[in-house]
Amino acid sequence: MKKPSDFLLIERINQCPKLASLKSINDTLKDLLDSEDSFVSQIAEVIRLDPSLTTRVLDLVNSIFFGSKDSARISGVEEASIFLGLNRIRDLTAATPVIEEIFKLGKKSSSFPWVDFWKHSIGTAILTREILSFAEEEFEHEADYVAGLLHNLGILILAITFPDHFSEVYKKEYKSYLELLETEKERIGWDHAKIGAYYLWNHHISEEVVDSIHWHNQPSEARASPKLASAIQ
């Protein structure tokens, strides 16, 4: 299969729909989460009004704390909120609109494993923030969480823009992530990290997020935010 030119790559990526919710958040829930006087029951009540967020909260708490043990799974939003804690609820609130739009993009590619994709994205976002908190690093505008959440967005963009190339590259298993990146470069011209970084740069996402996503597999190459790139696992 012929490798696309840089011009065609850029043209296809530019035609990809924008994730309009990259910076959106549920204001009512945000106010409750930021208030010291809020009760978990109040927060749970607002979460219940959003079916998408409810699903995320329950799925995340059951995945983290109970794995595949069906008998122990939690089905109540208030109980799930207690397990997760307010910080993770806050993170999920910020992420949910973005995840919804990633779902819509993912459905454009029948071969794309979008359920696994969002679970990995959420997990990476949480882990990125946790790692940086130990290093006492703080970022404005949720940059640490957003970078973790969107670090593999280029894989989805690739699946939408070049589905045949995507299928060819991802039909096999690789011994290492670097081997995957090299194969992407050989078959497509760009690896998925560069594709995702370009897409986000094109939609005016901050330089530290774009740079960290571009180089999260090779953090020593990052210039704008090497610590953030290193934290993305």
- Whichever domain contains 185, its CATH number is 1.10.3210.10
Contacts 24+ apart (CB under 8 A), 68-74: none
**Do 91 and 145 meet the contact criterion of CB atoms below 8 Å apart?**
yes
Q: Quick check: 40 pLDDT over 70? A: yes
Assess if residue 215 is contained within a domain: yes
Q: Quick check: 188 pLDDT over 90? A: yes
Q: How many domains does the chain have?
A: 2
How many Å apart are CA 35 and CA 28, to the nearest integer? 11
How many Å apart are CA 182 and CA 195, to the nearest integer? 14
Q: Quick check: 215 pLDDT over 80? A: yes
How many Å apart are CA 165 and CA 204, to the nearest integer? 27
Residue 52 pLDDT:
63
**Closest C-alpha to 206, from 188, 189, 221, 228:** 228
- 31 plus 66 within the same structural domain: yes
Last residue of a domain, one of 34, 68, 95: 95
* pTM value > 0.85: no
What does the mean pLDDT of the chain come to? Answer: 79
Q: Quick check: 186 pLDDT over 80? A: yes
- 209 plus 145 within the same structural domain: yes
